[in-house]
Amino acid sequence: MTYPDIQLCINGEWRDAADGRTLAVLNPATGRELGRVAHAGKADLDRALEAARKGFETWRDMTAADRSKIMRKAAALMRERADDIARLLTQEQGKPLAEAKGEAMAAGDIIEWFAEEGFRVYGRIVRSRGSLALRQMVLKDPVGPVAAFTPWNFPINQVVRKLGAALAAGCSMLVKAPEETPAGPAALIRAFIDAGLPPGVLGLVYGNPAEISSYLISSPIIRKITFTGSTPVGKQLAALAGQHMKRVTMELGGHAPVIVAEDADIAVAVKAIAGSKFRNAGQVCISPTRFLVHKSIGAEFASALAKHAKGLKVGDGLEEATQMGPLANPRRLAAMAEFTRDALERGATLLAGGERIGDAGNFWQPTVFADVPLDARIFNDEPFGPMAGIRTFETLDEAIVEANRLPFGLAAYAFTRSLKNADLLARRVEVGMLWINMPAMPSAEMPFGGVKDSGYGSEGGPEALDAYLNVRAVAVMNV
């Protein structure tokens, strides 16, 4: 499928930027330009904001059943178009076609689940303490137009989690999507437009992230902010939103620990965790990164993980045999080189990878380190790439202390055959999501979000709708 130039979507119409500005979209596998994406200016943002205001007035007054029909149709369109969307996504982001198609198909599931969850936005009747003539009600209403800011690593997934909950709650949404990967979000928004979504309910813009975020967050039209990205940027946006008393959901960076207990099944652990580690070339907020392995099985686990890494086929995501694609941009290559240099200088043992592949595209070898000291960058800063660091522990309590040492608290993994260990880990590992004896398996019906510096709020489960709803108390005396 030929990669198209990507336009803005304002008031249900696809249009160029008012001043004609565009940005280049590059293929991370080749470094060559794929196409152009429109760069929004203030005039475009003003039109988009006004459209979102009017779209909200229409959408909030539709029944949950009518909203659900449109959302379900959009879900069906995403599934029907998944093959074409996947090719666009692979070209702009780099992930293998199978992963790209999985992302497009999962969007259909997420939309469909939220379409049904919209029926379950319930208020309640509260009995009066003093008079049967007094009726007390708790009402839940949509908060208003929402501004969403999303990253390049999962261009469809990170948008659909936000808009699914927002639309189900009755909100309109203006999405500021990533300039590096604009076609995926555009395909998602197009599915909703083609499904009959009223004008203005969903808008899509691209451009300078700092300029757009400050402009949208300060607008009195926007009543809710949702952001996925780095912790430093998330803190800046949350502070700006606080100045304007805007509600905020933050899904921020992680540094996921993996605890492999003495009684773990090593084969199960390596098979489950290796897939999660090298999916999307490690450019995943919940990617397992800090591997804490019991001393008695440390060497065996490290050898097995390194063997898996060496066996991965790295290449252009459009090629059928590819298991891991390129990194998103040259900045990630530079980061991988720096993490590698730092780990080796501090005494870590390189078991696999550690080098760039070729000189065309952003390819990096799947990399595994053993004997990583605690002061190495890989055990303190999120690498956001195909890199795993391993160190051993003697007691499970020691491993839990290390897992909780950093300020991040997004995701964690553990492997054990003991229910006692599993219960201890569930109670004491400080993360928003913990997977035990399995790879990461997020789903629409489960909460998705972190604690501590990894953010607050959920982008999954019934809890996701809470952030898009105002709770109001209404009392009526029968006279």
Return averaged pLDDT per consecutive 10 residues of the chain, 479 residues in all: 94 98 97 97 98 98 98 98 98 98 98 97 95 96 98 97 98 98 98 98 97 97 97 96 96 97 97 96 97 98 98 97 97 97 98 96 98 98 97 98 98 98 98 97 95 96 96 96
Burial pattern 276-298, b for ≥16 Cβ within 10 A else e, equals bbbbbbbbbbbbbbbbbbbeebb
- Is residue 80 helix, strand or coil? helix
Residue with tokens 């051993």: 392
Contacts of 20 (CB under 8 A, 6+ apart): none
Residue 285 annotated in active site? yes
C-alpha span between 8 and 359 (Å, rounded):
34
pLDDT at 62 (0 to 100): 98
C-alpha span between 351 and 390 (Å, rounded):
10
pLDDT at 128 (0 to 100): 95
| DSSP annotation of 32 | -
Find the catalytic residue in 112, 117, 171, 285: 285
For residue 98, the tally of other CB atoms under 10 A from its CB is 14
Q: Please give the backbone phi and psi of residue 66, each rounded to the nearest 5 degrees, phi first.
A: -70, -40
For residue 415, the tally of other CB atoms under 10 A from its CB is 27
Residue 430 annotated in active site? no
Between vectors from CA 342 to CA 380 and to CA 408, what angle results, nearest 5°?
Answer: 10
pLDDT at 413 (0 to 100): 98
Residue with tokens 């969007």: 107
C-alpha span between 104 and 43 (Å, rounded):
32
State the DSSP H helix or E strand holding residue 350, giving kind and residue range, or none if neither. strand 349-352
Burial pattern 129-153, b for ≥16 Cβ within 10 A else e, equals eeeeeeeeeeebbbbbbbbbbbbbb
pLDDT at 404 (0 to 100): 98
Between vectors from CA 344 to CA 342 and to CA 348, what angle results, nearest 5°?
Answer: 115
Beta strands in 57-155 (DSSP E): 124-126, 134-142, 146-149
Ramachandran sector of residue 254 (left: φ over 0; alpha: ψ -120 to 50; beta: rest): beta
pLDDT at 338 (0 to 100): 98
Q: Please give the backbone phi and psi of residue 289, each rounded to the nearest 5 degrees, phi first.
A: -135, -50
Find the catalytic residue in 92, 103, 117, 251: 251
